[in-house]
Amino acid sequence: AQSVTQPDIHITVSEGASLELRCNYSYGATPYLFWYVQSPGQGLQLLLKYFSGDTLVQGIKGFEAEFKRSQSSFNLRKPSVHWSDAAEYFCAVAPNTGFQKLVFGTGTRLLVSP
Amino acid sequence: DAGVTQSPTHLIKTRGQQVTLRCSPKSGHDTVSWYQQALGQGPQFIFQYYEEEERQRGNFPDRFSGHQFPNYSSELNVNALLLGDSALYLCASSSPPGGTPSYEQYFGPGTRLTVT
C-alpha cells in the first residue's frame, strides 16, 4: 500500500530564512507527487507537482521541490520565507495507473517568526 | 471562473442522524472526489465519481455513500453518524483532458461537520 511520511509535525522558520519540508513515500513504482498548502479554515491549494522528467520542479509562490528516486523523497524548498507562508503543508502521492486517488501525509505546520 | 464550491460551510449533527453535503465542481471538470480530514490529520480519500458512477472507493464503511448528478455536481451522504465522523469534508474536482486522467485536483473550502 502507498504511504507518505512527513517526519516534521511543526517547523519554525525566521522570516527571510530558507525552508525545507521533508516528504518520503512508499510505493512500488514512481508515483505522481504533489505538494499542497492549507491555510486555517481553508481548502487545499496545489503548490507544485511531479509527473516525470526534470526532477526539480517549480511551483507557485516561489516554492520548488526535488524528486530523488534513490531516497523516495520529494522535499519542498523555498529560499526566503515570508510571514504569509505560515500554513499547513501536505505532501501527496497518486498512483500512475489512471486513477486519481491522492494519498496524503499527515502534514507539517509551518510557523514563521519575525 | 468559480472554483469548487461546497455547502454548507458548517454543520452540527447528533449521533445517529444522517447528513448530506454538497459540492459543485470547477467549471469544465467532470470528476469529483471526496476526502475526510480529521483534526490534525491529512485528508483521507473516501470515493470518486465520474460519469455519475462511483469509480474508486477508499477504506470507508457503507454508511458513506455518494451521488453525482448530470451537471457533475455531487453529494456525500453519511448515515448513522458517529462521533468519529466529526471532520472537515473536502471535495475536489478534476477533468480528463482528451481522455487522459488529470491528476490536478482542485479542492473546495470544505464542510466542517461536528457530531455531538
Enumerate the residues of chain A whose CB falls inside 8 A of the CB of residue B104. 46, 49
| DSSP string across B9-34 | SEEEE-TT--EEEEEEPPTT--EEEE
Instruction: Give the pLDDT confidence score for residue B1 in this predicted structure.
Output: 65
> Tens of pLDDT along A45-62?
999 999 888 899 999 999
> Tens of pLDDT along B25-83?
998 888 999 999 999 899 999 999 988 999 889 999 999 999 999 999 999 999 999 99
Rg (CA), chain A: 14
Exposed (0-12), middle (13-18) or buried (19+): which is A97, by Cβ within 10 Å? exposed
Which of A69-83, B59-73, B89-103 shows the lowest per-residue confidence on average (mean pLDDT)? B89-103
* Partner residue facing A32 (CB), from B4, B103, B107: B103
Task: Give the contacts of A54 (CB within 8 A, at least 6 positions apart).
Answer: none
Mean pLDDT of chain A: 92
Distance from CA of B112 to the nearest CA of A (A): 9
Q: C-alpha cell of A102?
A: 491522492
A44 touches chain B (CB under 8 A): yes
Instruction: Give the pLDDT confidence score for residue B98 in this predicted structure.
Output: 47
Task: Determine the 3-state secondary structure of B2 from DSSP.
Answer: coil
A29 vs A38, more confident: A38
Asked if A105's CB is within 8 angstroms of B42's CB, the reply is yes
A104 touches chain B (CB under 8 A): yes
Instruction: Give the pLDDT confidence score for residue B55 in this predicted structure.
Output: 87
**Contact call for residues B96 and B79 (beta carbons, < 8 A):** no
Rounded to an integer, the average pLDDT of A83-106 is 88
